[in-house]
Amino acid sequence: MVSYVEEGNVLALNGSNYSFTPHYIGVPVLLNKAAKTNDTVTSVVDPSLVSQYNQIYQEKNPSIPLGAFLVSHNGAFAVEKGSAQAKDSIYVLLDDGSQLKDSTTYLVPVTLAAKKGSQLKYSVFFFKVFVTKGDLKAKMYDVSTIDGTQANRLGSGAIDVTYDVVPESVNLRTTLTTLFPAHDVSVKATLLTQDELNDAITNEFFPGIPMPDNTAALSKDLVYVPAKSLLSGDYLTLHFPNKANLQTFQWYVMGVKIVTYTASEYGVPPVANDSCRAYIRFFLSN
């Protein structure tokens, strides 16, 4: 009887829950002596043993719903003749965490048996899995700079960058709040409206006026974040087709924000704060 600690995550995206096991320890399946013939050790999760464990060790581990956890390698571990250890190690996988509680440790008992009678060193493993739950969101990560300009993160969470010229283009990169191993996801953006820019100028104490409509455009407003990655693989791209209409010695403020891409079930919504925004400001001296 042994106990090992793992970590499980449940992420909600557009009404669906996705369960992952990002951190686990593979434990060897051992025999007391070498197998006399090729054998297979089978294993299953046994939720009924949680209460017995609690009684013996005076713990208060919560019960686990049937089907919440699975055993690795479909619960089958081959042992070759003459070997005292299975080829694969054993661990548990979080399969359906929809009924589990956030920030809670679950005891997952696993029972083992050899099909052809090999004597197991351990017939029960107890895994403790710490489960966290949350929503998958997207936010701005960085913005391209030129000639030594720097992008800053404001107290509101938004990215802010200032230029003294209007570049041909500005690239913006997005990031997720956490890794999402299940699938590539999409992040969409749009320009801030004149009303949103006026509010930003007031709230952030920016000098200047909103950049006039039609001065800037997002030539690329949809990017993709590969599975198991935080950062988008490509960039949102901002162009300024009518920059010649801007006046010198004037501050201009424009911005980009992330919005939910509704054309895919894997479109990631923005975080609820201004971390989903980037403000791009210009002061043209000549």
- Of the candidate ranges 2-6, 72-76, 131-135, the one whose mean pLDDT is the lowest: 2-6
The residue type of 58 is Q
23-67 per-position pLDDT tens digit: 998 999 999 999 999 999 999 999 999 999 999 999 999 999 999
Mean pLDDT of the region 72-78: 97
- pTM reported for the whole predicted model: 0.85
pLDDT over 70, % of the chain: 99
Q: Would you state the pLDDT for residue 64?
A: 96
pLDDT tens across 121-147, in order? 999 999 999 999 999 999 999 999 887
pLDDT at 1 exceeding the cut of 70: no
Q: What is the mean pLDDT of residues 154-166?
A: 94
Neighbours of 204 (CB within 10 A): 16
User: What mean pLDDT comes out for the span 96-106?
Assistant: 96
Given a contact cutoff of 8 angstroms between Cβ atoms, the answer to whether 10 and 130 are in contact is no
3-state secondary structure of 281: strand
